[in-house]
């Protein structure tokens, strides 16, 4: 497998559109970067939440599984995977402590949906960068 | 506070999603425009229809 086939999707996962940009697909790279970044920024401005991966420290093997459904709503696990799609923003949010979610604001739900939607779209964009690198797409 | 209107939030969300999907799924300009418009209308129209459908179940 070509190095590009591994590097391009990883770069695309880290920063939206970067995987296309390094393959000289400049227009697509810019469109993806602007759209996905705008969605994330609007989501954060609306008070949306970036969900962390949270589980209690397990004491038995059974607790590894049961802890997944404790404390937090199990659906937040899905939200975590969606938010992880925007890797750089996710990592920055953990270090700089933003994206905590402003539950009291009426735009909280929509903001959270914007952030999750942006992450999910970025997975597709990163996969597209991989397809271009292996020659499946132009 | 931006986007207090849920309708406007939904329209902007649908527009940006349709734009990205059109650029992923289609390569020709005309096909992108058609596909993007289709996705956008499905998202906005579907949400409005579903909203009215839920209205049937109000107390």
How confident is the model over A4-8, as a mean pLDDT?
93
pLDDT of residue A70: 65
Distance, in Å, from the CA atom of A117 to the CA atom of B52, rounded to the nearest integer, reads 24
B8 touches chain A (CB under 8 A): no
pLDDT of residue A77: 82
Distance, in Å, from the CA atom of A42 to the CA atom of A74, rounded to the nearest integer, reads 25
Mean of the per-residue pLDDT values of chain B:
92
Has residue B12 got a pLDDT over 90? yes
CA A124 from centroid of its chain's CA atoms = 11
Has residue A72 got a pLDDT over 70? no
How confident is the model over A90-94, as a mean pLDDT?
94
A44: closest chain B residue by CA: B2
Buried b (16+ CB within 10 A) or exposed e, A68-78: eeeebeeeeee
pLDDT of residue A127: 97
pLDDT of residue B33: 97
User: Which of A30-34, A42-46, A50-54, A93-97 is least confident?
Assistant: A50-54
How confident is the model over B12-37, as a mean pLDDT?
96
pLDDT of residue A75: 78
Distance, in Å, from the CA atom of B41 to the CA atom of A42, rounded to the nearest integer, reads 22
B15: closest chain A residue by CA: A35
- Inter-chain CB proximity A110 and B6 less than 8 Å: yes
pLDDT of residue A89: 95
- Inter-chain CB proximity A105 and B1 less than 8 Å: yes
pLDDT of residue A3: 87
Q: Which residues of B touch A113 (CB under 8 A)?
A: 13
Band (A71; pLDDT cuts 50, 70, 90): low
Measure CB to CB from residue B4 to each of A107, A114, A125 and give the nearest one: A107
Measure CB to CB from residue B2 to each of A46, A124, A128 and give the nearest one: A46
pLDDT of residue B3: 74
Q: What is the ipTM of this complex?
A: 0.88
Q: Which residues of B touch A117 (CB under 8 A)?
A: 13, 17
How confident is the model over A18-26, as a mean pLDDT?
95
Band (B57; pLDDT cuts 50, 70, 90): confident
Q: Is the dihedral of CA A7, A13, A14, A20 positive or negative?
A: positive
**Can you list the alpha helix ranges (DSSP code H) found in chain A?**
3-14, 18-21, 26-45, 61-66, 75-83, 87-96, 108-134
Alpha carbon of A18: minimum distance to chain B alpha carbons (Å):
14
């Amino acid at each position: 497998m070509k190095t590009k086939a591994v590097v391009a999707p990883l770069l695309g996962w880290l920063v939206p559109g970067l995987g296309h940009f390094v393959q000289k697909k400049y227009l697509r790279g810019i469109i993806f970067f602007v759209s996905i970044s705008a969605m994330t920024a609007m989501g954060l401005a609306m008070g949306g939440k970036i969900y962390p991966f949270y589980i209690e420290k397990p004491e038995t093997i059974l607790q590894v599984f049961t802890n997944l459904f404790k404390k937090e709503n199990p659906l937040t696990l899905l939200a975590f995977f969606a938010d992880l799609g925007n890797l750089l923003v996710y990592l920055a949010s953990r270090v700089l402590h933003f994206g905590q979610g402003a539950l009291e604001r009426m735009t909280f739900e929509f903001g959270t949906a914007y952030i999750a939607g942006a992450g999910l779209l970025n997975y597709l964009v990163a996969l597209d960068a991989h397809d271009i690198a292996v020659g499946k797409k132009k | 506070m931006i986007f207090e209107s849920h309708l406007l939030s939904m329209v902007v969300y649908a527009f940006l999603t349709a734009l990205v999907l059109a650029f992923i799924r289609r390569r020709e300009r005309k096909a992108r425009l058609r596909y993007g418009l289709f996705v956008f209308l499905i998202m906005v129209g579907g949400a409005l229809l579903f909203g009215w459908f839920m209205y049937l179940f109000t107390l």
